[in-house]
Structure 1
Amino acid sequence: MERQQRGFTLIELMIVVAIIGILAAIAIPQYQNYVARSEVSSALATLKSLQTPAELAVQEGDTTSSASDLGLSDNAVQNGSISVSNFSGTDDDGEPVSPTITFTFDDEGNFSSETLTLERQDDGGWECTTTITDDDVVPDSCVANSN
């Protein structure tokens, strides 16, 4: 009498579960890293979108005091806030200072209170610095600092 096959054996099911577990162990950290990098990239893209209007404000001598002065709407920023400073060209003591645009991450994300900053250089270019210390998520165009 021939035996009819009725399904999977226990060992076959255990092998499938083990393979799925291994794939999940590799995929979940990679996904979390991807999400973290996308948060930082989104913040940098938002800052970069303000770079041209900020340069125009510097060239025209405007004393910009908020991101909305540069054309950014209030609901355009996700997972953080943007502040601008030093567009008057001098500090309280009359010393020259460089204009900066700073993105500060919200407390609920991967980078609680970390910042990305675009600062205008003397040669007219803009330099990106960040307080994020994880080199895997910091964009190549940004320099990590400890401020």
Structure 2
Amino acid sequence: MKKNLQKGFTLIELMIVVAIIAILAAIAIPAYQNYIAKSQFSESQTVSDGIKLATSEYYAQHGECPVLGTAAGFPMAAASYAGKYVKEADIVAGTYATNPTCDIKVTFKAAGSVSKGLTDAVALFQGYTVGGNFNWKCSATTIDDKYLPSVCQSK
């Protein structure tokens, strides 16, 4: 008697495998895109860190915000503070909790290598004084929370 041996997969088995892969991709791709945007946002923190210490010191000595390109210790223009995803970083006067502050405004580049959620977006790092100490708060003004690290998300 001959045995009937099955060789290969049936069409329904292959369709089930394709459906499972499609479901996994539908979940994984958006999560990966958010991860990429968060990693690109971290460059804005790195660029602003280069300005924060000098801004804090200038404010402590002069009682006002420095102006990039004109103030002593800030010889470069805003476009000089840039990166792969960051177009420029600038120091702007602002208000935080009714105290005058020095804010660092970071603008991301237009479409291209920047994630869709960060294209032409602006992140604001607010510097403010409390009891004579200069502190910084991340406040991403035009960026959706899902693209931000937890310290910058609006609660």
Q: State the TM-score, normalizing by the size of structure 1.
A: 0.71
Q: Residue 5 of structure 2 aligns to a residue in which SS?
A: coil
Match of 2:96 in 1: none
Cα distance, 1:57 vs. partner? 3.1
- Corresponding position of 1:7: 8
Residue pair 2:121, 2:142 contacting (<8 A) in 1 also: yes
Matched, 1:83 2:86: no
Segments of 5+ residues of structure 1 without an aligned counterpart are 87-95
- Whether 1:17 aligns to 2:27 is no
Unaligned runs of at least 5 residues, structure 2: 94-98
Whether 1:98 aligns to 2:101 is yes
1:117 to 124, 135, 147: 124
- 2:45 paired with 1:40: no
Identity %: 31
CA contact (8 A) 2:123 2:143 kept: no
Letter in 2 for 1:7: G
Do 2:122 and 2:141's aligned partners in 1 also have CA atoms closer than 8 Å?
Answer: yes
Distance 1:129 1:135 in 2: 10
> How far apart, in 2, do the equivalents of 1:65 and 1:76 lie?
13
* Compared CA separation, residues 49 and 113, structure 1 to 2 (3 A): same
RMSD: 3.1
Q: Is the 2:127–2:137 Cα contact (8 Å) retained in structure 1?
A: yes
Residue type matched to 2:37 in 1? A
Q: Could you tell me how far apart the structure 2 residues matched to 1:5 and 1:117 are?
A: 64
Q: Deviations over 1:70-116 (max 9, x none)?
A: 89995861212212245xxxxxxxxx953222110111132222211
- In proportion to residue count, which structure has more strand? 2
Q: What is the CA distance between 1:13 and its match in structure 2?
A: 1.1
